[in-house]
Structure 1
């Protein structure tokens, strides 16, 4: 995991620091490991703080006006802060265990109310509504276009990091085929991309003027994942991955 500086801009070498009211909270996120529990130790090395900073850095590069960009970044600074008390659970765990997911949603909101300053709390709620909508659930309130893009950035960073670190491991001497992630983890990124692409096609109005941006983000995600797998010998690429690339080709991203 990352070992950021203890104060000031040094914590965030690739992007701006969070608002002062959030800096201590974000700092704590660097001690929260990601990709744990259902994955073999030694494949992944990531933490929530690094994920948050990467997401904000991605938002900096999104082609939207500065005002919209700052709103997206504020949402991203707060979106995972409840993990300080709850820890990180992979999306695969949440999908596979509805009871766990329901408990986590309740706990996340309770922790968010407790630790996130009032002036930033609505950004967290907006993000959770976007998360519900993009996962196929009915949100309590229609999310803003900023929250939808923030959630897409969050998912894309998770998916790309997963495939980057997974393929790093596969091409290393540490690779053991029997330790490959299971439980739908390999196909998730492709299935997610197809789901969001269909949602955009069906209800483009929810993205307001970010529709073209959202489509490009999905296309760039698949291109990045393809680049990572391009380093792996074809003979050892799992059939699930090969089928996944065929699936996203079919929707003509």
Structure 2
């Protein structure tokens, strides 16, 4: 049995979630172990979440809603909880990313976060420390839920060819990640282009950046340094970012040729041949 401690529900989204979980469980007349049995987890896990020592997943939250009849309460709360696990400096960007109607990004070293597989994200986020890694990965996967909306943002992603060769997480992780990029070809609202090595000097040499466009709000440009990210609506920065992106898009391979290059690197560097839908052939 996890030691029960009082939570201040106003302290954080995680504390509020734990407070409500304990309150609703007790109202249902269930012990932690009983609820755990119903939702296929341990009573210890229920206790850790109730005491804000562990971050809940979306799957856990959906099972709790079904078990306690809470009408989607915890499925709604978990989005706030997971967003709160993002770095403080990144949270404003994540909020604007979720509202954007159009996302155009150039990435020099890594697959864009919204297109990362879970294992690729785990390798990226765990490079310096594995403390809290599960929560960080869950938060990144939660960001990707905007892609499953009825009207997702239109995305145009330009990746440096270096992204395909940087062996993040090992061969299997990269095989699955590149296959995932190929599998996106069936989605009308996302396009991936590769900027080949043969381009030479190009407009993205200063580093990765993202332009967000909105239906009713000013456009934004987002960049990162090794400490944190920077977001601006300065018209001069928007104009420069848009111009640089247009040049990168023009220099990149077509969507079709980019897919062919991804497939070739996948086969030659990571050892498997993808099928026409991006899935791996045995």
Note whether the superposition's TM-score is higher than 0.5: no
Provide the TM-score with structure 2 as the length reference: 0.27
Q: Which structure shows the higher strand fraction?
A: 2
Q: Which has the larger radius of gyration?
A: 2
Provide the TM-score with structure 1 as the length reference: 0.29
Q: Which structure shows the higher helix fraction?
A: 1
